[in-house]
Structure formats: C-alpha cells, structure tokens
Amino acid sequence: MELSLIIPHIEALIFASEKPLPVNELVEFLNNALGFIEDRATPDQVDAGIKAIKEKYESEFYSFEVAESGGGFQFLTKKEYHKTIAQLNGDKFLKKLSVASLETLSIIAYKQPVAKSEIEIIRGVNCDYAVQKLLEKDLIVITGRNENSPGKPLIYGTSKSFMDYFGINSPDDLPKIKEVLNQEIIEATRIEEIQHENSSDFEAELEENKEESLQAEIE
C-alpha cells in the first residue's frame, strides 16, 4: 500500500481517537478501511507514516504534536503551552487528589506490584481511603494477589490511564529515584550558592557603607 495514501488516514485515526492508538490497532483499522488481500498496510509502513506525521508537527507553527504515550500514539499539546491550557483543565484532575492520595500513588508507581500493607508500612498510616479513591479515578488497578503472603492480599499497579495522563509508555519511563534525588541536591546547591552570593553582596555593601560613614565623619 502506498505510504502517501495511508498517512492522511493514520493522522485522522490518531486525531479522532480518545485514547492512544498502538501500531497494531492502526494497522488493523487501515486494512479494514482501505486494505485489499494483495495490498495491505504493514506495521513498518505505519511506523514510517507516524514518523512523517511527527516531522510535520515539529514545526513551531503547531502548538501540538504526535507523541507516544500510554502504549500508543496521540495528539498532545507541546510542553511550552502546558501552562496556558492548564487554565482550562490541565491541573484540575490532580488538584482533586489529596496529599495522601498522591503519596500513595507515588509508592504504587515505584513499588508496583505492591500490596496495601506494604504501602501502609512505608507511609506509616492506614491507606484504605486513598487506595479506593485512586481506584475510582482509574489511576491504579488490581493486578492480582500476592500468593506468597498470608491471606494472599490484593496487589496494585498503575493503570493505562495513569500512563496516558503522565505521558509515559510504561512504569520504566518514570524518573529514577536517584535522578530525582540528584536533581533536588542540585537545586539545593543552587539555592545555597544564591544565598551565599546574596550574603557576600550584603556584607560588601555593609562594609562600603561603613567606610563611607567613617569618611564622612573625618571630613
């Protein structure tokens, strides 16, 4: 199948879909709509088509792009416009999560699959309510039971909605704990440097004012 023929259809499918579309689904949709037994779209052709569409929307004249997230491809607003659209509903969802829910979600994201008892050991408090809220918001799912623990407790992991919302394809795409800590150290160092510079400037200014005062007294 000619690549020039399928590119507009790939673009239309990604644009119209309410969820990220993986390559295999795009291939199926294309062949259902356009395919013939002797001339069918292939995953390689779809990959090439997506690459062409990505290049098209890399232009600075577009405020959105085709990005891979949540296990598929979708149109997303470019990062430089996130603050603008957040005024509509960009941060509305997370604002509804309590601190307890965010802490619980973070633990599940990094420790999954994890049982509720393990989460409570880390947080030091009961997390029944937080887990229930995260399940209701479809940010986490029950992935099974821990067969090696007494009572075989339920274990939890992040959902496709979680990956879609945060723009990642798998939990492996999450920032590594070490990277986060290193960034915090870097930011702390920068603040200390700024404070030191400000302190040095202040001391220098005091010394200068002191010398000016002494000079004025002599005169």
Query: Tell me, what's the pLDDT at 207?
Result: 61
Residues 6 or more apart whose CB falls under 8 angstroms from that of 22 comprise 71, 72, 73
- Rounded to the nearest integer, the mean pLDDT of the chain is 80
Q: What is the mean pLDDT of residues 158-168?
A: 79
CA–CA separation, 98 vs 83, rounded Å?
Answer: 21
Q: What is the mean pLDDT of residues 54-70?
A: 91
> Is residue 7 over pLDDT 90?
yes
Rank 46-50, 86-90, 200-204 by mean pLDDT and report only the highest: 46-50
Is 15 in contact with 53 (CB distance < 8 Å)? no
Lowest mean pLDDT among 82-96, 97-111, 137-151, 197-211: 197-211
Query: Tell me, what's the pLDDT at 90?
Result: 52
The strand pairing partners of 66, in sequence order, are: 75
Query: Tell me, what's the pLDDT at 186?
Result: 45
Strand ranges in 81-159 using DSSP code E only, listed in sequence order: 114-115, 140-145, 154-158
Better pLDDT: 30 or 214 = 30
Residue recorded with tokens 């039971």: 145
> Is residue 82 over pLDDT 60?
yes
CA–CA separation, 128 vs 199, rounded Å?
Answer: 48
Strands 154-158 and 140-145, by their bridges, are: antiparallel
Can you give the pTM of this predicted structure? 0.56
